[in-house]
Amino acid sequence: MNANLAFLVIAHGSRRAEANRELDQVCSQLRERKSIPIVQPAFLELTGPTIAEGGQRCVQQGAKEVLMLPYFLSPGIHVREDLIDHRDRLSKEFPGVKFYLTDPLGGHPMLIDILLQRVDECLKQKQN
């Protein structure tokens, strides 16, 4: 993998700390699976690090390309407007770094598999 590549994984943010810690786990798993040294969590609101702080941390660690990965299910206003605005601001602040925004999770066919797995788990628990 490209040593100058970073993943900036972005979630909405919650007032519940345990919900926010899930993003740290996601980042750890991404780092391990893809051998990406720079995988930074960031939050849109309610907690930190903010998207601006996360982008800055990626650059400080040597990133020349940052893939912004929305940990969102649908392409709602946050993805279509807010994250695009954040990408554009980071691009202006760090002109030597390329920032790319990926699609959100929703719409991917593997999500149906996950939903069906959750149904199976629930039905098994119901039987016990």
Residue 127 has a pLDDT of 82
Q: What is the pLDDT of residues 56-86, one digit of tens each?
A: 999 999 999 999 999 999 888 878 899 999 9
**Angle, helix 51-60 to helix 83-93, in steps of 10 degrees:** 40
Q: Which tokens is 93 given? A: 């602040």
Indicate the number of domains in the chain: 1
34 is in which domain, residue-wise? 5-127
Distance CA 44, CA 48 (A): 8
Distance CA 97, CA 64 (A): 5
Whether residue 128 is predicted with pLDDT greater than 80 in this model: the reply is: no
Q: Which residues contact 43 (CB under 8 A, 6 or more apart)?
A: 10, 11, 12, 13, 20, 23, 49, 50, 51
Q: What is the pLDDT of residues 99-115, one digit of tens each?
A: 999 999 987 889 999 99
The CATH number of residue 121's host domain is: 3.40.50.1400
